[in-house]
A and B are shown apart, each in its own frame.
Chain A
Amino acid sequence: MRFSTLKIAWRNLGRNRRRTLLGVSAIALGQFTLITVNGLNAGYFESMLRIVTGPLIGHVQVHQRGWREERAVDQYIDNLGRAESEIKTLPEVQSVSARIFSPALGAAGEPGREPAEAEMAMVVGVDVPVENREGGILASLPAEDLPGPGSVVLGKVLAQRLKLTPGKTVAVIGQDADGFPVSNIFLVKSLVKGGNEIVSRLGIVMPLKEAQDFLVLPDKAHEIVILGNDYRKAGELADRIKSLPGLKDAEILTWKEAFPVIVRMIGMKTWTDLIFLAILFIAAAAGIANTMMMSTFERTREFGMLLALGTRPGRLVRMITLESVILGLVGVAVGSILGAAVVYLTSQTGIDYGALSGIRGQEINFQGLTLSYIVYPKLEFRNVLFGVGAVMVTAFLASFWPAFLAARLEPTEAVRA
């Protein structure tokens, strides 16, 4: 490529600034949209993935067969201690945490306030230190707010219904595994929201040991949540757990099997990425083709003159193609810079997706999970590259027809007055 070809192509773009600006804007807007929308999606789906593969759900879950459908108290995993220690022998296991879920009634425990209004609730027994970590049911609670012997943490919604605040007591009436009624009064340590929908709406969260004692479920639990070292290897981990003798009758599911809808949604990201790539293709094709067609058609005489002097048609083709490619590159560069800047800035502050779509509130309940409406977009460099590639391909294709016409011109075009 000779330098003058580049110089001529570049300067030609400056000839009709308005038209060039229009072409550049169309491409830039396409690339900007691709990067920002896909960045928003990437952030949204990544947070979703983080939740479904985090401590709340784990990489692998163990239940008694049928528990997920009926959630009956007597559908427990027996010999919990043995099961847990077997699971812990697997080298890739990072953490094991057992949970108890048992329907109950809750009421304000204050004496003298009657008749106490009871609300539907759920006793949730958990491994407190494990659930206190990032992403767990009790995440973000300071140590003094954690449940202990005789004390519980209430789901925020339940607490509101029962008009309870930390420091007060809650009366809980439940059933043990054999159907006998059990009841007790607990101190409310703090309130918890987010994460698991059942917990925030119904949860009376207490240490696993407390729940086992209260509900007469010694060495038993309803759910075991296991985190391995890589969520992508959940299938292999599940297979190894299935072969453990203590769990041969249990139902063992990976996060993908437990939340197939979310897995499908995450899979849809590829499609949205592709849709916006297609939109970019169309914007770039329209922007470049329009600009190139107009700018070459009005230069017929100039091309004729160049051919008359002895310029090879191939050189005209390169000149026009280069012009088209430069137009595309400028557009895609502007779009990439603006798009990356917006994605970067919003990734720092977060975007309230709910406010954008006119929904009030901060979170959405989906598939029993509480997802935040605040999305932190994520720049996917891959999408920037795809966009650049798409624009380059379009630039070549869009220059093909005008270049072909110019190369076929007769040199006498220049001479005809």
Chain B
Amino acid sequence: MIGNDGNLLVSARGLTKVYRLGAIEAPALLGVDLEVKSGEFVSIVGPSGSGKTTLLNLIGALDSATGGELRVLGQDLSGLNRRERAELRLKYLGFVFQSYNLIPVLTARENVEFVLELQGVGRERSARAGEVLNELGLSEFADRRPLEMSGGQQQRVAVARAVASSPKLVLADEPTANLDGENAEILLHMMRRLRDEYGMTFIFSTHDPRVVEHAERVITLTDGRVAKDERHAPA
């Protein structure tokens, strides 16, 4: 079902999104062309309101486009219903949000276990969750609930949760927005390491220049259009 189109994970052609609030139309994306290949480490930047979140939501099959074509992992997203989109997210995508990533009543380990359970992993999921946290140097937080962790620790657990089932593509919308510089650094290093060691593909948005430095490719959005798309030597 999922074709690989020669390592092409995301391909957008003339992608548009117009939000409708009653009679008012708010155009957010005005024709985005974009390709992301397997193993890339991509940052989407741009001022607030430029459409970063909208674009990530479309790629992440969380929302549907109003026009243009969008293929993710070889699937034409416009043809998928609500249930099929949920299935695609669950099986092939990982998400890190700006906040509210974790279930507050579950410990770090249980949060990781929860997505593994959603994916149908059996009894071994507890051990798997422990391994993932361990691998990412988070074992000391395994039995803590989100409120017992700092914001930076929570975001690291969120990354662990997102990658626990080895997704093809990890989408992170401003994952460092609530973090200080040091914690932002740690998070980015962690993501880079996952890309380098496991070949995972990351697309993350940010408007923090220090975070952008870690990207290999920087796509700049302005008013719903791609203004720049440049290779970049990461720091």
Contacts of B56 in A (CB 8 A): 415
Q: Once the chains are docked, how many angstroms separate the CA of A36 from the CA of B62?
A: 54
Within B76-125, the residues touching A (CB, 8 Å) are 83, 86-87, 89-91, 95, 97-101, 103-106, 110, 113-115, 117-118
Min distance, Cβ A157 to any Cβ of chain B, angstroms: 70
B63 touches A412 (CB 8 A): yes
Contacting residue for B100 out of A310, A312, A411, A414, CB 8 A: A414
Q: Once the chains are docked, how many angstroms separate the CA of A138 from the CA of B17?
A: 95
Q: Is B177 an interface residue (CB 8 A)?
A: yes
Contacting residue for A306 out of B103, B113, B117, CB 8 A: B103
Contacts of A14 in B (CB 8 A): 105
Q: Once the chains are docked, how many angstroms separate the CA of A415 from the CA of B87?
A: 18
Contacting residue for A8 out of B63, B100, B105, CB 8 A: B105
Contacts of B87 in A (CB 8 A): 310
A290-328 interface mask toward B, CB cutoff 8 Å, 1 = contact, 0 = none? 000000000001101111111110000000000000000
Q: Which residue of B lies closest to A15 (CB)?
A: B105
Q: A310-B90, A310-B118 are in contact. Are A414 and B103 (CB under 8 A)?
A: no
A310 touches B86 (CB 8 A): yes
A417 touches B99 (CB 8 A): yes
Q: A305-B100, A308-B95, A311-B118 are in contact. Are A11 and B105 (CB under 8 A)?
A: yes
Q: Is B57 an interface residue (CB 8 A)?
A: yes
Contacts of A7 in B (CB 8 A): 106, 110
A411 touches B62 (CB 8 A): yes
Q: A411-B62, A417-B177 are in contact. Are A4 and B114 (CB under 8 A)?
A: yes
B99 touches A4 (CB 8 A): no
Q: Once the chains are docked, how many angstroms separate the CA of A306 from the CA of B115?
A: 9
A415 touches B173 (CB 8 A): yes
Contacts of B166 in A (CB 8 A): none
Q: A8-B106, A308-B95, A310-B118 are in contact. Are A302 and B100 (CB under 8 A)?
A: yes
B110 touches A302 (CB 8 A): no
Q: Which residue of B lies closest to A306 (CB)?
A: B103
Contacts of A410 in B (CB 8 A): 62-63
Contacts of B139 in A (CB 8 A): none
B86 touches A307 (CB 8 A): yes
Contacting residue for B57 out of A310, A412, A417, CB 8 A: A412
Q: Which residue of A lies closest to B60 (CB)?
A: A308
Q: Once the chains are docked, how many angstroms separate the CA of A77 from the CA of B174?
A: 102
Contacts of B99 in A (CB 8 A): 417
A2 touches B104 (CB 8 A): no
Min distance, Cβ A7 to any Cβ of chain B, angstroms: 8
Q: Once the chains are docked, how many angstroms separate the CA of A305 from the CA of B53?
A: 15
A302 touches B117 (CB 8 A): no
Q: A310-B86, A312-B86, A415-B57 are in contact. Are A4 and B105 (CB under 8 A)?
A: no
A412 touches B62 (CB 8 A): yes
B100 touches A4 (CB 8 A): no
Contacting residue for A4 out of B86, B91, B101, B113, CB 8 A: B113
B106 touches A309 (CB 8 A): no
Q: Is A12 an interface residue (CB 8 A)?
A: yes
Q: Once the chains are docked, how many angstroms separate the CA of A187 from the CA of B181?
A: 110
Min distance, Cβ A183 to any Cβ of chain B, angstroms: 90
Q: Once the chains are docked, how many angstroms separate the CA of A416 from the CA of B99?
A: 9
Within A262-301, the residues touching B (CB, 8 Å) are 301
Contacts of A417 in B (CB 8 A): 53, 98-99, 174, 177
A308 touches B103 (CB 8 A): no
Contacts of A12 in B (CB 8 A): 105
B104 touches A302 (CB 8 A): yes
Q: Once the chains are docked, how many angstroms separate the CA of A308 from the CA of B110?
A: 18
Contacts of B104 in A (CB 8 A): 15, 302
Q: Which residue of A lies closest to B178 (CB)?
A: A417
Contacts of B101 in A (CB 8 A): 305
Within A78-113, the residues touching B (CB, 8 Å) are none
A4 touches B90 (CB 8 A): no
Min distance, Cβ A308 to any Cβ of chain B, angstroms: 6
Q: Once the chains are docked, how many angstroms separate the CA of A411 from the CA of B88?
A: 14
Q: Which residue of B lies closest to A3 (CB)?
A: B117
B43-76 interface mask toward A, CB cutoff 8 Å, 1 = contact, 0 = none? 0000000000100110010110000000000000
Min distance, Cβ A3 to any Cβ of chain B, angstroms: 9
Q: Once the chains are docked, how many angstroms separate the CA of A2 from the CA of B63?
A: 28
Min distance, Cβ B1 to any Cβ of chain A, angstroms: 16
Q: Which residue of A lies closest to B89 (CB)?
A: A310
B115 touches A309 (CB 8 A): yes
Q: Once the chains are docked, how many angstroms separate the CA of A305 from the CA of B97?
A: 8
Within A388-417, the residues touching B (CB, 8 Å) are 410-412, 414-417
Q: Known contacts A8-B103, A311-B118; can you find 7 more A-B pairs with CB under 8 A?
A: A11-B105, A308-B62, A310-B118, A412-B57, A414-B97, A414-B100, A415-B97
24 chain-A/chain-B pairs, Cβ below 8 angstroms? A2-B117, A4-B106, A8-B105, A11-B106, A15-B104, A15-B105, A302-B103, A305-B100, A308-B95, A308-B97, A309-B90, A309-B115, A309-B118, A310-B91, A312-B83, A410-B62, A410-B63, A411-B62, A411-B86, A411-B89, A412-B62, A415-B57, A417-B53, A417-B98
Q: Which residues does B use to contact A, with CB under 8 Å? A: 53, 56-57, 60, 62-63, 83, 86-87, 89-91, 95, 97-101, 103-106, 110, 113-115, 117-118, 173-174, 177
- 4 closest A-B pairs by beta carbon, nearest first, are A310-B90, A11-B105, A310-B89, A301-B100
